[in-house]
Amino acid sequence: MKRVNNITPISTILSDAGVEIVELHKWDQYLRETWEYQFAKNLSTIEKKKIHMYQFLWHLFSYKRVECLKNSEAKTAFNDLLKRSCYLFYQNQSQAFLIEDSNKIKAEHFEQENDICIVDRDFRWTYVQTHEEQCGPYFLLR
């Protein structure tokens, strides 16, 4: 079942929560490619195609190619994580953002988002909210 997109833009939701957010123009493709490289470098191109990872990056988790936390465990781990600056980007949108003081962000801020990835600037961890209610969210700390 698909999640309905939130009417309120994520930039407004985070700003209302006291989070400083800066839009990064034309960074979305770079962030998706870097995310793929950092978290799925153990998979071949053929395997990535087989699990439809180019359609949705989070298939890396739903097809269990990488061990991660999911659902409430993912939310708790993300909320408890000491976060510094991070990036936020979407699977199928050109929007990308930098969040400098990301310790204020919580999983609940992203519950109405579709296919959004949050990743620290060093790509050591990622939190992914999918458009599928039965898939995710996912959290991975390397």
Q: Where are the domains of the chain?
A: 10-141
Give the model confidence (pLDDT) of 11-39 as tens digits.
999 999 999 999 999 999 999 999 999 99
Strand order in the sheet with 69-70: 21-23, 96-99, 86-90, 116-120, 125-129, 138-141, 69-70
| Residue-level pLDDT at 101 | 84
94 pLDDT exceeds 70? yes
pTM equals 0.92
Contacts of 101 (CB under 8 A, 6+ apart): 19, 20, 84, 85
- 92: which 2 tokens? 């199928």
Average pLDDT over residues 60-85: 97
| Residue-level pLDDT at 1 | 39
